Amino acid sequence: MQSDLIQDKDLGPDDILLAAKSAEREITPIWHARVAQALLQHHHSQEAVEQFEHSLDKDLRKPVLNAMSLFVIHDKMASACADLGRYTDAVEHLELSEQQRASQMHSLEREPAEIVASLLKAAHWQYLANMTDRAIQSAKKGWKIFMEEQVE
């Protein structure tokens, strides 16, 4: 019942930070990433980007994040940047997330629909970032994969 009330309440960035700090956990790159995800979930994209940046900055000084964590951070940061209309940054973080995915999950097969969705998201953000040629290439790759799946 208590958790339902918390989920229904519109939490501001200060509320989320206060809740995170009240847990009295060590403030690490993972802590910042989790706070950023909570902020993003409550549509506080600017504050989420700031927390993701803190996470990545701390990790640069003392690396503790694994490839999977970096994949999630860059993927979520791409979404936050896109929410803010920072499409060039969104494309950059999407590419970094895909690099981390490839290095971490090279042995895991991705469903063609997931690959197509990722390529179309990239194409959309590339187009909005005035990267028209790259957007066309991404869309063509997605279309090719889609059509190959239709034949099989």
Split at pLDDT 50, 70, 90, the class of 150 is confident
Three-class DSSP category at 4: helix
- Is 66 in a helix, a strand, or coil? coil
| pLDDT greater at residue 109 or residue 47 | 47
C-alpha distances in Å from residue 79, one per residue of 9, 46, 69: 23, 11, 16
Token duo for residue 125: 């953000």
Looking at residue 58, its pLDDT comes to: 95
Query: Is 23:42 a contact under the CB 8 Å cutoff?
Result: no
CA dist 142 and 152 (Å) reads 16
Whole-model pTM above 0.85? no
CA atoms within 13 A on the CB side of 140: 6
Are 138 and 122 in contact by the 8 Å Cβ rule? The answer is yes
- Residue-wise pLDDT for 34-81, tens only, equals 999 999 999 999 999 999 999 999 999 999 999 889 999 999 999 999
pLDDT digits (tens, 9 = 90+) for 17-28: 988 988 888 899
Element (H, E) at 129: none
